[in-house]
Structure 1
Amino acid sequence: MEARKLDDYAAYFEPYELDEETFVSLSINEEGQSDYVVTSKGKALKSVPARFKKHEWIEALKEAKSELTGQFRRARAELERSMESGSGFTPAEIAGLSRNPVLAPLISKLVLMSGDELGYYDADQGALVSPAGESTALSGEAALRIAHPLDLYRSGQWSLYQKDLFDRQLRQPFKQVFRELYLPNEDELAQGVLSRRYAGHQVQPSKTVALLKGRQWTVSYEEGLQKVFYAENLIVRLYAMADWFSPADTEAPTLETVQFFDRKTYKGVPLDQVPPVLFSEVMRDVDLVVSVAHVGGVDPEASLTTVEMRRVIVSESLRLLKIENVRLDGNYARIDGKLGEYAVHLGSGQAYKQAAGALSIIPVHSQHRGRLFLPFLDEDPRTAEVLSKVVLLADDTKIKDPQILAQLSR
């Protein structure tokens, strides 16, 4: 249905004459997002001239653009859910989606999997193409799915695809190749049916509920926070010392355990029997809560998987920018500047100067958008902040901000 929807709007992509000199149409950029194209006397304009704002064709264009923007958002969310659930596609279905200019850019930048073969979908060849340019033809019966980081991890090609996204400056519609991966650790496997990975973290109840509802979790008086996986017949519950329906003015709720149950028998399921992709996505949801809805003025240090992803992003960015005075050491990016030596924590984004202590460098997150290349369209202001501070301090002699300079000269 989404692939065919564009047929209804075909007329809007043709130039429409508003007057003898001004023409307007819709266009779709390389990321699948729609916008207006306005020309006057052969020159492109940044926006529709004010005298045409109430024109009936402009009103129709606004409605069409709104529908296409909605389609882009729906498709992006559905593709991410398809990756999480392991939904299968036939080559014919992928080919049909690739004929839609809104959906094609989303499909072409994702890593797909057929059997043990990984690659980007090439609509012209009808094949999967690896970063090295090797193609794997798809038969009519081949089952395709969107590769999860677990598949990339098991294939041994994860870093190859991460490097390729940076080399070709590809921005994926959502975090796939740079998505955090969570595997059961030794303590969790020893516990059997319980995970205490996030025990002790205090969170804001209203923000926690809002975040998890967006990830298909539900809240009830009896069970608290839970998520049901019908295909796998599993229920996951997040236990906390909390009343999710109160403002919790006296004491913020403290997370305790994550536990999986059989949906039919309600018996606990050992963690080593939980599908690894499902386990990873559940832990990613809880990690999101701990990172965003934490209590206190200072962010907790990000999980190891988040730090690992940021380490790769910073490393690849430094390679492309040819910055050679930065080294990655554990959870820190260590910088040998001309005005001093610095460290930036890859989890919290806090910057330090050796023998001077913490530096107060206040980020303005909206200013990072579009200025730094991140290999996914998802908003990730903390990663942009970390990368910005590393690049800033690596060339500290060009810093103009007097407050930062005053700290560096201490």
Structure 2
Amino acid sequence: MRAPESAYADIMAVRETISGGDLDELAELLVRIGTREGNTWHGDRACLPERVRELPEEQRRRLAQLWTSRYQRATDPEGERSVLLTLLRVADPSSGLLSAERLQRIDELSRRVMCHDHEELLALVEGEVAAGRALPGPFIAMIRRSRLAAYWSGPVLDQMLHLFEEPVLNPGEAWADQALADAETFGEPGRRLLGQLRAAVSSRPTRAWERAVLALVDQIGPATVRHTALSWLDLAGKPRTLPLDPVSEWENPRADSQYDPYNVDALRGLAWLTALLTPGQDIVRGLGGLAETSLRKVPGIGPRNPKVANAAVTALARIEGEGALAELARLATRVTYKATLKMIGTALDVRAEAAGLSRAEIEELSVPSYGLSAVGRGEHPVGDATALLEVQGTKALLSWRTGAGRAVKTAPAAVRNAFPDAIKEVRAAAKDIDRMLTAQSERLDRQFLARRSWALGPWRECILDHPLLGTLARRLIWTVDGTPAAFEGRDLRTVDGRPVSSDPAAPITLWHPLGHADAQVAGWREWLEIREITQPFKQAHRETYPLTDAERTTGDYSNRFAGHFLRQHQFHSLAATRGWTSKLRLCVDDTCPPAYKELPQWGLRAEFWIESVGGREEDDLTESGAYTRISTDQVRFYPLAAAHNWAHAGGGRYSQGANWRRDGRPLLDPLPLSSVPELVLSEVLRDVDLFVGVASVGNDPTWQDGGPRGRFRDYWHSYGFGELSTSAKLRAELLTRLIPRLAIGDRCTVEGRFLRVRGEMNAYRIHLGSGNVLIAPQDRYLCIVPTGRGSGTEAGYLPFEGDGVLSVILSKAMLLAKDREITDPTITSQL
């Protein structure tokens, strides 16, 4: 291949040709340069367009005509694009030449995230302005995004953007498109309102900003603004109406999954605006949804936009009433992003202090009934029909009854047509119940380590008989003044049916199986299973982790879950959900603490030591440079005030206080495990067992070859078919009791580490820890990838919710028991 000529040679050739005055030769030369080098007008060659522009106008017009004819005859796509880009820079915009090509290029760039060739943008803008045409909104949006990302040539882009005040927002997002359309109907006040929303650039709304917004709301009409603002909130985060097409490594490949950066301040202003309007559950619901949408993880990026989430929390904190307080309490159980979670905690603490209550008390008292008039049941008249809301498990089921008393699944057509808003509100209440039940279930599950205790009287009023919380409390076991009891009939009774203390001052706590006799624990499990009560989380069947002889030997650390390989991002997300702090390990020169969980009620901090894996192979890192996998090591406990341990992000030894971030905390030795309260030790190790059970590469059914280059083959086989963990052993005990109740019970038996399933074609063994499958008798591996749609409930009653591996095992058992009916070719090809 011929080496490209130097920039100096190109400059000299163009200069000599211009001096000679041969425009044909100059056109040919510039086409050759553009074709040869592609987009060459940068660096030393940047002066070439200027040389051409210095020609007299008549010669420049003639050159443009010659150049255009050569461009239009070009056949090579790369050369064609290069010549076009070159010509767009130097052609006289007023000549009208290449007008169609310029519009085509503008259309192409309108779908781009950004464009780094600012000179090209300037040529396109000048051409359209000279032609008297308005530039399309998406193209202006692209220029704005380019300006926000520009590290150079900012003045060039500013020069262009000063020409355009419209559109006020970048089009291409569902909410922004609707806002622009609505503002157009409102006229000048509508456009000014959007402009004021974009002015929300501070961390909190200022008084001047609020006064300006309220003045515009009064001009448009408060009811109108409220209605439209809610519709914008509902559309925030919906798929883009104009998908973006990143074409270079410098552009964000997941821009479609994020907010348009130019519109972010307006979204923040929208959240603040709603807090100034007439409050209502619809606004509270919209703000809570905006916070969650804004914190949703984008692969390789992180949360979509915490700044918008924080604005939603700020708005909720300013709204008076139980609805906003309840939404904040719900978000406190769902949000894992630390900065936003801290804001939520502060808002709740302020409300609690104002009410003279504890944080836990105000979180419980703030839970709405959502229209339920009795525990788990509510009726809502709509026209001559009635909507029935009934809670089953952690879901609200909506059904209808006609005026004649006939049960139907959906509202009658006449009612739907006459009362659309009422029906919408009932459906929204059902969704609110689902979200709140999940949040409250998680909150109750955390009460073991929170050391929460109640007095029986207030507990009965605020929890047991609460229309929503009662649906959870009546499926749990409680300890009343030292006596375990559960709700049956109309009261709390022991496992053998005796009533317990009714003294309103009697202390009551959640019952935990740790420390109780095996017979008592087994009795409660049987009690639940006979009555087919599904607990909202594992309680009677909860795993316990008493101190082992090996841990007494090691003394101050546990190796019980060391030596596993976990998917880092899955572990990171799960740890945050369980209240742990874990810094994502990147392949950079940085230090990280271990994953840790602070337990202020006990004055302790638990540490789970982890280490990055690999980094030298392509599969070891994500696009953003994060390690794909981590390995596990020790679990330790320290006093809460002790300095953190630190290790390099790429791996290596942990040491206490060995990082510049050390904040003056004392260097203290880890605590002996024997001194850690047994409940704390058990719950922390249960979390770690959960991390391993969910995030281990050993339960990936597609890794029978050991993963990338077979490096994890031995681990995958030892985990996928090896000894059972504590949770897997409990799973085996449960299945032994439940199998006779299954429709396929006569085809299943528990044999050691496996559930054996007798199909019509083969016999199968499903490992009770990983869910991996072997075909008997040769133990040939059968790869079945779970679809994520099965919940395990199709197999029948389960005594608790939340065991994903158990659901996978039951789903696979149901499938394999009728193996002749399997139609999935990825499975039938292996049978």
In 2: Cα distance, 1:103 partner to 1:291 partner = 30
| Match status 1:190 vs 2:553 | yes
In 2: Cα distance, 1:31 partner to 1:288 partner = 22
- Larger deviation, residues 64-73 vs 170-179: 64-73
- 8 Å CA contact 1:174–1:376 kept in 2: the answer is yes
The alpha-carbon distance between structure 1 residues 165 and 231, as it changes in their structure 2 partners (threshold 3 A), is same
Alignment of 1:334-345 (within 5 A): 334-335=756-757, 341-345=763-767
Report the CA distance between 1:123 and its aligned residue: 7.3
In 2: Cα distance, 1:199 partner to 1:32 partner = 35
Corresponding residue for residue 389 of structure 2: 27
Report the CA distance between 1:188 and its aligned residue: 1.5
Helix, strand or coil at the partner of 1:308: helix
| Match status 1:17 vs 2:373 | no
The alpha-carbon distance between structure 1 residues 123 and 228, as it changes in their structure 2 partners (threshold 3 A), is farther
Report the CA distance between 1:269 and its aligned residue: 0.7
Question: Structure 1 counterpart of 2:423, which letter?
Answer: I
1:157-207 Cα shifts (integer Å, max 9, x gaps): 222222222222111111112222222222122111111222222223332
In 2: Cα distance, 1:405 partner to 1:171 partner = 35
| Match status 1:160 vs 2:526 | no
- 8 Å CA contact 2:451–2:601 kept in 1: the answer is no
In 1: Cα distance, 2:596 partner to 2:545 partner = 19
Helix, strand or coil at the partner of 1:160: helix
Corresponding residue for residue 683 of structure 2: 281
The alpha-carbon distance between structure 1 residues 181 and 55, as it changes in their structure 2 partners (threshold 3 A), is same
In 2: Cα distance, 1:161 partner to 1:353 partner = 36
- 8 Å CA contact 1:180–1:284 kept in 2: the answer is yes
Q: Report the structure, 1 or 2, having the larger helix content.
A: 2
- 8 Å CA contact 1:24–1:36 kept in 2: the answer is no
Alignment of 1:38-57 (within 5 A): 38-40=400-402, 42=404, 43-48=406-411, 51-52=416-417, 55-57=420-422
Corresponding residue for residue 128 of structure 1: 493
- 1:370 pairs, out of 759, 782, 793, with 793
- Larger deviation, residues 65-74 vs 205-214: 65-74
In 2: Cα distance, 1:391 partner to 1:276 partner = 39
Question: Structure 1 counterpart of 2:442, which letter?
Answer: A
- Larger deviation, residues 186-195 vs 285-294: 285-294
- 8 Å CA contact 2:562–2:634 kept in 1: the answer is yes
The alpha-carbon distance between structure 1 residues 264 and 57, as it changes in their structure 2 partners (threshold 3 A), is same
Higher relative contact order, structure no. (Cα contacts within 8 Å, ≥ 6 residues apart): 1
- 8 Å CA contact 1:109–1:172 kept in 2: the answer is yes
Structure 2 unmatched runs, 5+: 1-361, 584-590, 614-620, 643-667, 704-715
1:335-372 Cα shifts (integer Å, max 9, x gaps): 56675544221112223333342334454441345312
In 2: Cα distance, 1:340 partner to 1:64 partner = 48
| Match status 1:58 vs 2:423 | yes
In 2: Cα distance, 1:192 partner to 1:268 partner = 9
In 1: Cα distance, 2:626 partner to 2:593 partner = 22
The alpha-carbon distance between structure 1 residues 350 and 219, as it changes in their structure 2 partners (threshold 3 A), is closer
- 8 Å CA contact 2:386–2:400 kept in 1: the answer is yes
Count residues with an aligned counterpart: 398
Helix, strand or coil at the partner of 1:316: helix
In 1: Cα distance, 2:519 partner to 2:774 partner = 35
Q: Report the structure, 1 or 2, having the larger strand content.
A: 1
Question: Structure 1 counterpart of 2:768, which letter?
Answer: L
Report the CA distance between 1:33 and its aligned residue: 4.0
- 1:290 pairs, out of 679, 692, 708, with 692
1:67-115 Cα shifts (integer Å, max 9, x gaps): 4334323321221111343321221133112222211121111111235
Question: Structure 2 counterpart of 1:351, which letter?
Answer: V
In 2: Cα distance, 1:78 partner to 1:191 partner = 34
The alpha-carbon distance between structure 1 residues 252 and 94, as it changes in their structure 2 partners (threshold 3 A), is same
| Match status 1:238 vs 2:608 | yes
Corresponding residue for residue 570 of structure 2: 207
| Match status 1:100 vs 2:466 | yes
1:102-154 Cα shifts (integer Å, max 9, x gaps): 111211111112354222134733x3331x32333343332211112314x44
The alpha-carbon distance between structure 1 residues 224 and 162, as it changes in their structure 2 partners (threshold 3 A), is same
The alpha-carbon distance between structure 1 residues 225 and 99, as it changes in their structure 2 partners (threshold 3 A), is same
1:16-75 Cα shifts (integer Å, max 9, x gaps): 233xxx524352324364343323353333234674497232343344334433432332
Corresponding residue for residue 639 of structure 2: 262
Helix, strand or coil at the partner of 1:137: coil
Helix, strand or coil at the partner of 1:172: coil
Alignment of 1:317-332 (within 5 A): 317-321=738-742, 323-324=745-746, 326-332=748-754
Corresponding residue for residue 144 of structure 1: 508
The alpha-carbon distance between structure 1 residues 360 and 55, as it changes in their structure 2 partners (threshold 3 A), is same
Helix, strand or coil at the partner of 1:255: strand
The alpha-carbon distance between structure 1 residues 367 and 388, as it changes in their structure 2 partners (threshold 3 A), is closer
| Match status 1:346 vs 2:753 | no
- 8 Å CA contact 1:188–1:195 kept in 2: the answer is yes
- 2:398 pairs, out of 36, 42, 63, with 36
The alpha-carbon distance between structure 1 residues 232 and 320, as it changes in their structure 2 partners (threshold 3 A), is same
Report the CA distance between 1:330 and its aligned residue: 1.9
Question: Structure 1 counterpart of 2:557, which letter?
Answer: L
Helix, strand or coil at the partner of 1:375: coil
Corresponding residue for residue 147 of structure 2: none
In 1: Cα distance, 2:475 partner to 2:789 partner = 25
In 2: Cα distance, 1:57 partner to 1:355 partner = 61
Question: Structure 2 counterpart of 1:146, which letter?
Answer: L
Question: Structure 2 counterpart of 1:166, which letter?
Answer: E
In 2: Cα distance, 1:325 partner to 1:36 partner = 37
Report the CA distance between 1:271 and its aligned residue: 0.7
- 8 Å CA contact 1:325–1:336 kept in 2: the answer is yes
The alpha-carbon distance between structure 1 residues 251 and 388, as it changes in their structure 2 partners (threshold 3 A), is closer
- 8 Å CA contact 2:747–2:759 kept in 1: the answer is yes
Helix, strand or coil at the partner of 2:434: helix
The alpha-carbon distance between structure 1 residues 73 and 325, as it changes in their structure 2 partners (threshold 3 A), is closer
The alpha-carbon distance between structure 1 residues 371 and 325, as it changes in their structure 2 partners (threshold 3 A), is closer
In 1: Cα distance, 2:829 partner to 2:628 partner = 40
Corresponding residue for residue 359 of structure 1: 782
Corresponding residue for residue 118 of structure 1: 484
Helix, strand or coil at the partner of 1:38: strand
In 1: Cα distance, 2:569 partner to 2:774 partner = 33
The alpha-carbon distance between structure 1 residues 260 and 48, as it changes in their structure 2 partners (threshold 3 A), is same
- 8 Å CA contact 2:693–2:769 kept in 1: the answer is no
1:299-351 Cα shifts (integer Å, max 9, x gaps): 73485212122112211222324835644332123356675544221112223
- 8 Å CA contact 1:196–1:258 kept in 2: the answer is yes
The alpha-carbon distance between structure 1 residues 240 and 118, as it changes in their structure 2 partners (threshold 3 A), is same
The alpha-carbon distance between structure 1 residues 340 and 251, as it changes in their structure 2 partners (threshold 3 A), is closer
TM-score by length of 1: 0.83
In 1: Cα distance, 2:597 partner to 2:791 partner = 34
Report the CA distance between 1:262 and its aligned residue: 1.2
Helix, strand or coil at the partner of 1:259: strand
Corresponding residue for residue 223 of structure 2: none
In 1: Cα distance, 2:457 partner to 2:399 partner = 32
In 2: Cα distance, 1:14 partner to 1:326 partner = 43
Say which one has the larger Rg.
2
* CA RMSD of superposed structures (Å): 3.3
- 8 Å CA contact 1:340–1:353 kept in 2: the answer is yes
- 8 Å CA contact 1:202–1:252 kept in 2: the answer is yes
